[in-house]
Amino acid sequence: MTKLPHTPIPELYISPESAQKLKLDAGNMPSWDLTARQMCDLELLMNGGFNPLTGFLSKADYDGVVDNMRLADGTLWPMPITLDVSEKFAESIEPGQDIALRDPEGVILAVMNVTDNWAPDKALEAEKVFGADDKAHPAVAYLHDTAGKIYLGGPVTGLQSPMHYDFRARRDTPNELRAYFRKLGWRKVVAFQTRNPLHRAHQELTFRAAKECQANLLIHPIVGLTKPGDVDHFTRVRCYEAVLDQYPAATTTMSLLNLAMRMAGPREAVWHGLIRRNHGVTHFIVGRDHAGPGKNSAGEDFYGPYDAQELFREHEAEIGVEMVPFKHMVYVQERAQYEPADEIEEGVTVLNISGTELRRRLREGLEIPEWFSFPDVVKELRRTSPPRDKQGFTVFFTGFSGSGKSTIANAMMVKLMEMGGRPVTLLDGDLVRKHLSSELGFSKEHRDINIRRIGYVASEITKNGGIAICAPIAPYASTRRAVREDIEAFGAFVEVHVATTIEECERRDRKGLYKLAREGKIKEFTGISDPYDVPENPELRLETEGTDVDYCAQQVLLKLESMGLIGSG
């Protein structure tokens, strides 16, 4: 088993001349725009990473894979690789028809001959492949909420590989890696799969594994799709590069794998093994809770901590890669080294920092000790996850026309600019309507479009570390909720309800609009002839009557301070 084949494996690409010709024909075929996951799957299909698959699974292969992890001919394959499409697209395709598969820019990457077309039983797929039809599992949520209703199957002809502009020198096809190992004379190679930054425990674990099986080491991180919420791959790869220097020279290399993970635990481990075999690897590290999706909706783990190791062991011979089982490593203070957690005697001091604790320390700018990670890795992580008072956020004022939103927002902006540190952008209702939404009126549909635009701009500002202050009426709770979700993906969302009553706004009538609304000269006027959903749980509610603008702005600043968003400077 440990003899390296290192001979090339089949790819699905045709010669550049034939590709040129087929591409011209493909221009007239029905075409499917690939999703991000399908892009990853197609790349690995075409470059042999998913060998022996020759296309997206047919119905017979799919049924076998779902049921017993085997293709129709009995070959071991644990993961359904399917082309999910909309019902509308599926209806337009005749059996036996060729379709063009395009990247998001419209470039034709492959042609697929559609032999099969079926509506899968998604609940069954979830149960069998992921162990439960529970949307707390990210792949099950994807299956039900994102994937199309119909699967198309059939062989794929590869025209060109998807383009990557980042870390190009670190991306290798299975055949490129095989050739590299051959060139260096690496007969035994142990691969380490990861979707997280590497710290000292991982470095120790991988180094030990390589030593134990007297093999060279391939760090083989996933840069396709990983678990939602993971550290982005740009940051991770910079971290991996910092860790690479820690291994003895010429023993270790790193290559990036553009795989779309499913977080399917045991099945995923077997799949990862097959993919690594295709990349010319002889040994594969399977740790505790390999590719685990976290907790199910009852708060329990989806898989047992060593289920993945057991399933891999069962199929090891067929996978063709030896498993190197690895345990959870912790730091023993007395001996100043990492050791497997379950081999440590009582009485010694064991140190460990969980992923959650690490994120907390990053968020709050707290110390991350040297025994835990390498200074260069911590530096990279701090650059991407600055403490809360350096991150972007959005303050979203909502309230009636004339409630004082714009005035307070302006005061806030100036106070934040006086403090300095982060760029501040004011997206005032009137200004947005002038510059971004001048074609829109005040129907529910138009108001929603307007607020979603504001939300989009604010989310971009927040993502890039700035402060966005929004001050529209935003009368609909559902739209405010949607904007909150968009923004909370990148930073805090602070909803401030400027709770001036409609009577008071009408009494002030600073723009004379209420008078016109009462006379029916302005239609759909919020609070007079159009609804306003009072926010139920805003981060802050401002009562403006009897107080001045400065005091209101101070209250918002205090709220931001208590949330850790401004402070140490």
Binding positions for ATP are 399-406
Position 451 contacts ligand PPS (CB under 6 A):
yes
User: Minimal distance in Å, beta carbon 494 to ligand PPS?
Assistant: 17
Residue 293: both structure tokens together: 């999706």
Selected range binding ligand PPS among 17-25, 170-178, 411-419, 521-529, rule: CB under 6 A: 521-529
Position 429 contacts ligand PPS (CB under 6 A):
yes
By beta-carbon proximity to ligand PPS, the closer residue of 221 and 429 is 429
Nearest residue to 147 via CA among 155, 157, 135: 135
Q: Report d(CA 459, CA 457) in Å as an integer.
A: 5
- Cα–Cα distances (Å) from 539 to 260, 555, 564, in that order, read 37, 11, 13
Q: Are 461 and 467 in contact (CB under 8 A)?
A: yes
Selected range binding ligand PPS among 14-22, 27-35, 65-73, 520-528, rule: CB under 6 A: 520-528
DSSP 155-212: EEEE--PPP--SSGGGB--HHHHHHHHHHHT---EEEEEESS---HHHHHHHHHHHHH
User: Minimal distance in Å, beta carbon 517 to ligand PPS?
Assistant: 7
Q: Is 452 considered catalytic here? A: no
By beta-carbon proximity to ligand PPS, the closer residue of 375 and 520 is 520
Residue 390: both structure tokens together: 């350096």
User: Minimal distance in Å, beta carbon 264 to ligand PPS?
Assistant: 44
User: Minimal distance in Å, beta carbon 513 to ligand PPS?
Assistant: 6
Position 50 contacts ligand PPS (CB under 6 A):
no
Residue 58: both structure tokens together: 């047919």
By beta-carbon proximity to ligand PPS, the closer residue of 121 and 545 is 545
Position 263 contacts ligand PPS (CB under 6 A):
no
By beta-carbon proximity to ligand PPS, the closer residue of 14 and 522 is 522
- The residue within the footprint of ligand PPS, chosen from 51, 258, 401, 462 (CB under 6 A), is 401
Determine which one of 178, 195, 236, 388 is catalytic. 195
Position 511 contacts ligand PPS (CB under 6 A):
yes
Cα angle 383, 386, 392 (rounded to 5 degrees) comes to 115
By beta-carbon proximity to ligand PPS, the closer residue of 111 and 513 is 513
Strands 329-332 and 337-340, by their bridges, are antiparallel
Q: Are 244 and 225 in contact (CB under 8 A)?
A: no
Residue 60: both structure tokens together: 């017979």
- Would you call the peptide bond into 266 cis, given omega within 30 degrees of 0 as the criterion? no
- The residue within the footprint of ligand PPS, chosen from 207, 442, 490, 493 (CB under 6 A), is 442
Nearest residue to 202 via CA among 247, 238, 165, 172: 247
Nearest residue to 113 via CA among 69, 83, 72, 156: 156
- The residue within the footprint of ligand PPS, chosen from 33, 103, 133, 524 (CB under 6 A), is 524
Q: Is 258 considered catalytic here? A: no
Nearest residue (beta carbon) to ligand PPS = 429
Selected range binding ligand PPS among 18-26, 53-61, 256-264, 471-479, rule: CB under 6 A: 471-479
Position 472 contacts ligand PPS (CB under 6 A):
yes
Q: Is 410 considered catalytic here? A: no
Determine which one of 175, 194, 252, 500 is catalytic. 194
User: Minimal distance in Å, beta carbon 457 to ligand PPS?
Assistant: 13
Position 402 contacts ligand PPS (CB under 6 A):
yes
Cα angle 520, 525, 530 (rounded to 5 degrees) comes to 110
Selected range binding ligand PPS among 132-140, 296-304, 362-370, 470-478, rule: CB under 6 A: 470-478
Q: Report d(CA 465, CA 393) in Å as an integer.
A: 7
Selected range binding ligand PPS among 51-59, 255-263, 408-416, 444-452, rule: CB under 6 A: 444-452
Q: Which residues contact 124 (CB under 8 A, 6 or more apart)?
A: 66
- The residue within the footprint of ligand PPS, chosen from 447, 459, 467, 539 (CB under 6 A), is 447
Instruction: Give the max Cα distance, the chain.
Output: 88
Which positions from 526 through 555 interact with ligand PPS, judged by CB under 6 A? 526, 530
Position 522 contacts ligand PPS (CB under 6 A):
yes
Strands 322-325 and 216-221, by their bridges, are unpaired
- The residue within the footprint of ligand PPS, chosen from 201, 474, 540, 542 (CB under 6 A), is 474
Q: Report d(CA 132, CA 473) in Å as an integer.
A: 43
- The residue within the footprint of ligand PPS, chosen from 23, 144, 227, 433 (CB under 6 A), is 433
DSSP 116-143: EEE---HHHHIIIIISS--TTSHHHHHH
By beta-carbon proximity to ligand PPS, the closer residue of 430 and 550 is 430
Q: Are 541 and 499 in contact (CB under 8 A)?
A: yes
- The residue within the footprint of ligand PPS, chosen from 47, 394, 450, 459 (CB under 6 A), is 450
By beta-carbon proximity to ligand PPS, the closer residue of 112 and 483 is 483
Cα 282 to the center of its chain, rounded Å: 30
User: Minimal distance in Å, beta carbon 429 to ligand PPS?
Assistant: 3
- Cα–Cα distances (Å) from 312 to 66, 67, 75, 266, 467, in that order, read 17, 17, 15, 7, 49
By beta-carbon proximity to ligand PPS, the closer residue of 388 and 405 is 405
Binding-site ranges for ligand PPS (CB under 6 A): 401-402, 406, 429-430, 433, 442, 447, 450-451, 472-475, 511, 513, 522, 524-526, 530
Q: Which residues are catalytic?
A: 194-196
